[in-house]
């Protein structure tokens, strides 16, 4: 090809752009890059009155009365676009309802908007402090629409939640410890969190369970469970004393910290024909 007829500057411009790409990115948007995966959004209402407080279906927020409700689940960034499937806990919205969220990233600013859920639309406007590997955001939220939370507004703190894989242990009260003198039992759960998100926006949990000094259960295997935002749910089958079998449910348990979770607390319910069948108690698990 003969380049003789091209003005010199027409050749210099592509070369300049190549040099700019190497140094700073030619045409780069310089948008913030969010940590991909599980996120927890803690919302604190500043509205004069939150209408959903009078709704009987409210899910109480354990351990943290300052937070009005949580939004949690998977959040994925593709270029300047955000998308995720998340769950709302502590609102009048059904906490088991998967809610699609979409949004954008522009510079260090983030906007997220939910699909309409029971007449409510949640919009979050937040910002970060860095453009790379951002794992925390702060900002505000509003709820519009004719749903029971319509008109609510306040502040938010959004945090990427790291994997909770590891061993979590806690103390149980033996049902018959008062009569046979057996020491309080301990439970230890070896959790493995899936590295990829499930279709419903949660991250599946698997693992095994061991007991010490239990009057009924010896070991167990997780049959289900997930982490979504700052909340954990665990279901397990158990091998009980005398070759019996049973099961237990644990959760929704609130992780004490979204950025460095070390404890979680919730109800522990046993289903068995053995001596611990029907047992319900509060269990705090601590990461070892």
| Per-residue pLDDT at 270 | 94
pTM of the model: 0.84
Q: Is the peptide bond before 65 cis (omega within 30 degrees of 0)?
A: no
- Nearest-CA neighbor of 126 among 143, 141, 142, 144? 141
Confidence of residue 8 (pLDDT cuts 50, 70, 90): very low
Q: What pLDDT is recorded for position 238?
A: 96
Tens-digit pLDDT profile for residues 110-134: 999 999 998 999 999 999 988 888 9
pLDDT above 90 for 59: no
Supply the pLDDT for residue 220: 97
State both tokens at 124.
Answer: 């979050």
| Cα–Cα distance, 250 to 164 (Å, whole number) | 15
- Assigned CATH topology for domain 37-160: Lipocalin (2.40.128)
The tens digit of pLDDT for each residue in 157-171 reads 999 999 999 999 999
Residues of the chain with CATH 2.40.128.30: 37-160
- Evaluate if residue 13 carries a pLDDT over 80: no
Give the separation between CA 101 and CA 116, rounded to whole angstroms. Answer: 10
Cα distance from N-terminal residue to C-terminal residue, the chain: 68
The tens digit of pLDDT for each residue in 206-248 reads 999 999 999 889 999 999 999 999 999 999 999 998 878 999 9
- The mean of the pLDDT values for the chain is 85
Given a cut of 90, is residue 203 above it in pLDDT? yes
Whether 10 shows a pLDDT value over 80: the answer reads no
Task: Give the chain as a 3 state SS string.
Answer: CCCCCCCHHHHHHHHHHHHHHHHCCCCCCCCCCECCEEEEEEEEECCCCCHHHHCCCCCCCCCCCCCCEEEEEEEEEECCEEEEEEEEECCCCCCCCCEEEEEEEECCEEEEEECCECCEEEEEEEECCCCCCECEEEEEEEEECCCCCCCCEEEEEEEECCCCCEEEEEEECCCCHHHHCCCCEEEEEEEEECCCCCCCCCEEEEEEEEEECCCCEEEEEEEEEEEECCEEEEEEEEEEHHHCEEEEEEEEEEECCCCCCCEEEEEEEEEECCCCCCCEEEEEEEEC
pLDDT greater than 70 at residue 26: no
Task: Determine the pLDDT at residue 264.
Answer: 96
């Amino acid at each position: 090809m003969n380049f003789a007829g091209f003005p010199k500057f027409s050749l210099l411009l592509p070369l300049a752009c190549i040099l700019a790409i190497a140094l700073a990115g030619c045409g780069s948007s310089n948008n913030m890059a969010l940590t991909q995966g599980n996120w927890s959004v803690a919302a604190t209402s500043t509205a004069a009155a939150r209408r959903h407080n009078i709704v009987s279906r409210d899910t109480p927020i354990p351990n943290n009365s300052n937070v009005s409700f949580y939004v949690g689940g998977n959040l994925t960034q593709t270029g300047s676009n955000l998308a995720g499937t998340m769950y709302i806990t502590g609102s009048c919205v059904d906490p088991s309802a998967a809610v699609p969220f979409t949004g954008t990233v522009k510079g260090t600013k983030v906007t997220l908007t939910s699909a309409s859920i029971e007449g409510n639309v949640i919009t979050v406007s937040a910002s970060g402090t860095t453009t790379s590997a951002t794992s925390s955001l702060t900002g505000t939220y509003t709820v519009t629409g004719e749903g029971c939370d319509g008109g609510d507004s306040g502040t938010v703190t959004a945090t990427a939640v790291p994997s909770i894989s590891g061993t979590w242990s806690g103390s149980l009260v033996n049902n018959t410890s008062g009569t046979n003198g057996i020491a309080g039992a301990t439970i230890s759960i070896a959790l493995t969190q899936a590295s990829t998100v499930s279709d419903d926006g949660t991250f599946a949990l698997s693992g095994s369970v061991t007991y010490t000094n239990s009057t009924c259960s010896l070991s167990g295997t997780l049959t289900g469970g997930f982490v979504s935002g700052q909340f954990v749910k665990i279901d397990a089958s158990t091998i009980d004393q005398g070759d019996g079998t049973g099961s237990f449910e644990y959760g929704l348990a609130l992780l004490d910290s979204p950025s460095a979770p070390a404890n979680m607390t919730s109800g522990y319910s046993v289903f068995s024909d053995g001596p611990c069948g029907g047992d319900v108690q509060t269990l705090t698990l601590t990461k070892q």
